[in-house]
Amino acid sequence: MTRVALIDAGGANLGSVRYALERLGTTPRIARDASELAGAERIVLPGVGAAAPAMAALCERGFDAALRDTAVPVLGICLGMQLLYEFSDEGDTACLGAIPGRVRKMARAPGVRIPHMGWNALSDVVADPLLAGVGNGDEAYFVHSYAVPVGADTLAAAQHGERFSAVVRRGLYCGAQFHPERSSDCGARLLRNFVEWRP
């Protein structure tokens, strides 16, 4: 069984991510400081909340350096994905810098509510082990006000007014802007792919 460490940085979705992994037959170890990442073969960074306090919590517990230096795959979920980037406009926050780019506030427009909450279809899905079995039109559940523009590391996009990155990967660093733990079959597939991935 793959050894998965699930980072506890105060995110409200920690329990639901843990249960989603357990449904796949994996019992994650909850890591409350960087020393508890030792021996992990996968690291999951969930997140709900704001970028600045989340980064402060990661730094306080030594996770920032550990995540930058890790040699195992990392999956950031929602805010956790955003924290993998260099900078977030939310609170003018310097983030982990594992993936180049900047997280930006989503633009309001007629008929476009922010935060973006609800089910949305994935598009422009790239063939990648992280998305095996996931296709264009599959739906995932989103809750966010900030997003990463579509770029070279985007594996799947979604659209809410503007197009944005729904799934990203750069080397061992993976991210899902949506909540796989709340995204039914599509989310379960992504989590299983991540756990079973052999880079």
What would the pLDDT profile of 111-149 be if each residue is shown by its tens digit? 899 999 999 999 999 999 999 999 999 999 999 999 999
**Nearest by Cα to 34 from 10, 11, 4, 67:** 67
What confidence score (pLDDT) does residue 13 get? 78
Alpha helices in the chain (DSSP H): 14-23, 51-60, 63-69, 79-83, 184-196
Average pLDDT over residues 143-159: 98
Residues 50-85: pLDDT tens digits? 999 999 999 999 999 999 999 999 999 999 999 999
Q: What pLDDT score does 47 carry?
A: 83
Q: What is the mean pLDDT of residues 149-159?
A: 98
Six-digit token pair at 123?
């598009």
Within 10 Å of residue 106's Cβ, how many Cβ atoms? 18
Q: How far is CA 156 from the centre of its chain?
A: 13
Residue-averaged pLDDT of the chain:
95
pLDDT of 12? 63
Active site residues: 78, 179, 181
Distance CA 39, CA 17 (A): 20
According to the model, what pLDDT value does residue 49 have?
Answer: 85
Measuring CA to CA, which residue among 31, 51, 169 is closest to residue 3?
31
Alpha-carbon dihedral angle through residues 118, 121, 127, 129, given to the nearest 10 degrees: 30
Question: How many domains, in total, are found in the chain?
Answer: 1
Average pLDDT over residues 18-44: 95
CATH number (domain holding residue 20)? 3.40.50.880
Predicted pLDDT at 183: 97
Q: Note down the domain range covering 68.
A: 4-196
